[in-house]
Amino acid sequence: MNSYLDLQGIRKNYGTTAVLDDVCLQAAEGELVTLLGPSGCGKSTLLRCIAGLADLNGGRILLQGRDLERLAPRQREVGMVFQSYALFPNLTAGENIEYGLRMRGDSKRSRQRRTEELLALVDLEEKRDVYPHHLSGGQQQRIALARSLAVQPKLLLLDEPLSALDAQIRKNLRAEIRNIQKRLNMTTLFVTHDQEEALTMSDRVCIMNKGRIVQAGTPEEIYAKPRTEFAARFMGSYNVLTRPEAMRLFGRLEGSSDSFALRPESVKLIRPDEEEGARAGGKRIVEGTVDSVSVLGTILRYTVDSGGVRLTIDVLNDGRSIGIGERGSVRLALDPSQLLQLEQEGA
| Site for other proteins, rule CB under 8 A | 51-55, 72-74, 76, 78-80, 82, 84, 86-91, 99-100, 102-104, 132-133, 147-148, 151
Minimum CB–partner distance for residue 87 and other proteins (Å): 8
Cβ proximity to other proteins: between 187 and 239 the closer is 187
CB 93 within 8 A of CB 119: yes
Helix, coil or strand: residue 173:
helix
CB of 23 to other proteins, least distance (A): 19
- 76 — phi, psi (to 5°)? -90, -15
Element containing residue 180 per DSSP (H, E) = helix 167-184
Cα 106 from Cα 113, distance rounded (Å): 11
Q: How far is the CB of 169 from other proteins (least distance, A)?
A: 18
CB of 330 to other proteins, least distance (A): 49
Cβ 135 to other proteins, closest distance in Å?
Answer: 11
Question: What whole-number distance in Å separates Cα of residue 248 and Cα of residue 300?
Answer: 25
Give the helix/strand (H/E) hosting 195. helix 195-201
- Phi then psi for 145, rounded to 5 degrees? -65, -45
Contact 240, 246 (CB under 8 A): no
Quick one: angle between helices 167-184 and 137-150, nearest 10?
A: 20
Q: Work out whether the CA dihedral 186, 192, 194, 195 comes out positive or negative.
A: positive
Is the CB of 22 or the CB of 106 nearer to other proteins?
106
| Local structure of 157: helix, strand or coil | strand
42 versus 288: smaller Cβ distance to other proteins: 42
User: What phi and psi values does residue 88 have, to the nearest 5 degrees?
Assistant: -75, 120
> Cβ neighbours of residue 278 under 8 Å, at least 6 residues apart?
268, 270, 285, 333
Give 4 or 82: the residue with its C-beta nearer to other proteins.
82
Smaller CB separation from other proteins, 80 or 315: 80
Q: How far apart are CA 302 and CA 291, in angstroms?
A: 7
Q: Which amino acid, 235?
A: M
Q: How far is the CB of 166 from other proteins (least distance, A)?
A: 17
Contact 268, 333 (CB under 8 A): yes
Closest distance of CB 12 from other proteins, Å:
11
In 3D space, the residue among 147, 156, 151 whose CA is nearest the CA of residue 186 turns out to be 156
The smaller minimum CB distance to other proteins, of residues 95 and 197, is found at: 95
Which C-beta is closer to other proteins: that of 47 or that of 293? 47
Shortest Å distance, C-beta 287 to other proteins: 53
By beta-carbon proximity to other proteins, the closer residue of 151 and 261 is: 151
Nearest-approach distance from CB 72 to other proteins, in angstroms? 7
- Nearer Cβ to other proteins (99/250): 99
**DSSP 8-class letter at 230:** H
